[in-house]
């Protein structure tokens, strides 16, 4: 039967039962769009029925959607990969670390020889540095940010719950520092002495530039200006250009995106930013920002999220702001905050 005539006697339940119609509602493509728009044009009196059916299809959702936690997501993946290798029927040898390196090929282009070379060199540099250099450490607790200058004039904004170690004098071929947590760097230009940040598995090399670097659960580097190279322990090198952000997740995923400067390094100018943050994330951010412990018995809906921006605001004002949209009571007692249902 010609499709054009097939639909002429359709009632709402027929549309709701028709795969070609559902396909158009959920995933409109050139073909379906062409057909259905034309059909509506030819049958204008049927438009409300079609519209209703469309809405019904689009509004159906799970009442309870269960979300796999990040941790479970990663653990499960690792377990699957490990288990399916261990018991391989052909008895071939399996080494987790070996697999892991292979897996890196998925995410990064790298050369093995180059990778080993970098590892060796880095170890040498470190041991040489340690022989002659006194290292200084700045360690911020939660609730405390700090802005200071390194011996070469580089500005560092160190975020709360973060630390950085640097030599008293940069007298090597490279300006090497180590850090944990989050910092914004405005690196003084010196084409002859690269500025190198070493963290766990990554090494960030720059000549002169400014960027925000966060190394917590994930590694996140947002570049404002200049050029940055990030090398991992396998030797994979990624180059970043201005306005690009590199995210390397613990599960091995590597992403380049653009970013919203206020969201990423508004913190250094006293902007506390929430952007579609989950409840645990909102709590965590406040704990780190204000250096408090938050105990919450609040029941939040699944899918709860919060966005908001606070410039230079004290804790109670931030709590007031968030409680407007999600209605809770809170008590501040010294360094402890209790949040509960009203």
Partner 1 sequence: MKKTQNKPIETSDTSAMLYMQHSQVMVVYTEKSDREVWTSFKSGDEAAFNYIYRKYVADLFNYGMQICKQEELIRDCLQKMFVDLRKNQAKLGDVQRIKGYLFTVFHRELFKFLKKERKLNADLISLENEENMFHIETSHETKLIDEEFALEQKLEIANALNKLPTRQRQAIIMLYQEELSYKEIAEVMNFSEVKTARTLVYRAMEKLKEIFEVKKA
φ/ψ region of 143 (left if φ > 0, alpha if ψ in -120 to 50, else beta) reads: left
Among 60, 95, 113, 334, binds partner 1 (CB under 8 A): 60
Site residues for partner 1, 247-306, by CB under 8 A, read 249, 251, 253-257, 276, 301, 303, 305
Q: Where are the beta strands (DSSP E) in 125-252?
A: 135-140, 146-149, 155-158, 162-167, 175-186, 195-199, 202-206, 210-215, 219-225, 228-232, 237-240, 245-248
SS3 76: helix
Q: Are residues 185 and 210 in contact, defined by beta-carbon separation less than 8 angstroms?
A: yes
- Comparing CB distances to partner 1, the nearer of 117 and 253 is 253
Cβ neighbours for 105, distance < 8 A, ≥ 6 positions apart: none
Q: What are phi and psi of 306, to 5 degrees?
A: -140, 135
Site residues for partner 1, 89-128, by CB under 8 A, read 89, 102-103, 106-107
Q: Does 40 bind partner 1 (CB under 8 A)?
A: no
Among 65, 93, 95, 333, binds partner 1 (CB under 8 A): 65
Residue 13, token pair as written in the block: 């339940």
Q: Are residues 245 and 223 in contact, defined by beta-carbon separation less than 8 angstroms?
A: yes
Q: Does 44 bind partner 1 (CB under 8 A)?
A: no
- Comparing CB distances to partner 1, the nearer of 12 and 136 is 12
Among 4, 6, 8, 11, binds partner 1 (CB under 8 A): 11
- Comparing CB distances to partner 1, the nearer of 36 and 184 is 36
Minimum Å gap between C-beta 90 and partner 1 is 11
Residues in touch with partner 1 (CB under 8 A): 11-13, 16-17, 19, 22, 26-27, 29, 48, 51-52, 55-68, 70, 72-73, 76-77, 79-81, 83-84, 87-89, 102-103, 106-107, 249, 251, 253-257, 276, 301, 303, 305
């Amino acid at each position: 039967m010609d499709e054009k005539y097939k639909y002429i006697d359709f009632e709402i339940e027929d549309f709701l039962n028709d795969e070609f119609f559902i396909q158009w509602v959920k995933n409109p493509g050139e073909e379906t769009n062409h057909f259905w728009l034309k059909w509506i044009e030819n049958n204008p009196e049927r438009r409300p029925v079609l519209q209703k059916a469309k809405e019904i299809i689009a509004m159906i959702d799970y009442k309870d959607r269960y979300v796999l936690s990040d941790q479970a997501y990663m653990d499960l993946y690792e377990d699957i990969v490990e288990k399916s290798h261990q018991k391989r029927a052909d008895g071939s040898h399996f080494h987790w670390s070996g697999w892991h390196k292979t897996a890196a090929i998925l995410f990064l282009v790298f050369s093995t020889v180059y990778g080993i070379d970098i590892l060796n060199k880095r170890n040498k540099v470190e041991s040489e540095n340690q022989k002659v250099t006194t290292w200084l450490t700045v360690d911020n607790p939660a609730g405390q940010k700090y802005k200071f200058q390194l011996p070469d004039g580089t500005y560092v904004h160190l975020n709360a719950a973060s630390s950085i170690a640097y030599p008293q004098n940069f007298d090597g071929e490279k300006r090497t520092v180590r850090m944990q947590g989050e910092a914004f760097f405005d690196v003084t230009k010196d084409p002859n002495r690269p500025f190198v940040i070493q963290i766990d598995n990554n090494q960030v090399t720059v000549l002169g530039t400014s960027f925000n670097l966060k190394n917590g659960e994930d590694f996140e580097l947002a570049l404002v200006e200049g050029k940055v190279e990030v090398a991992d322990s396998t030797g994979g090198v990624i180059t970043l250009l201005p306005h690009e952000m590199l995210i390397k997740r613990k599960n091995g995923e590597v992403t380049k995106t653009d970013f919203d400067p206020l969201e990423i390094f508004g913190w250094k100018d006293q902007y506390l930013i929430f952007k579609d943050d989950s409840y645990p994330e909102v709590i965590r951010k406040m704990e780190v920002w204000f250096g408090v412990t938050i105990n919450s018995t609040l029941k939040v809906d699944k899918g709860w999220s919060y966005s908001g921006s606070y410039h230079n605001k004290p804790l109670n004002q931030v709590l007031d702001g968030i409680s407007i949209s999600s209605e809770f009571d809170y008590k501040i007692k010294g360094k402890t905050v209790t949040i509960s249902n009203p």
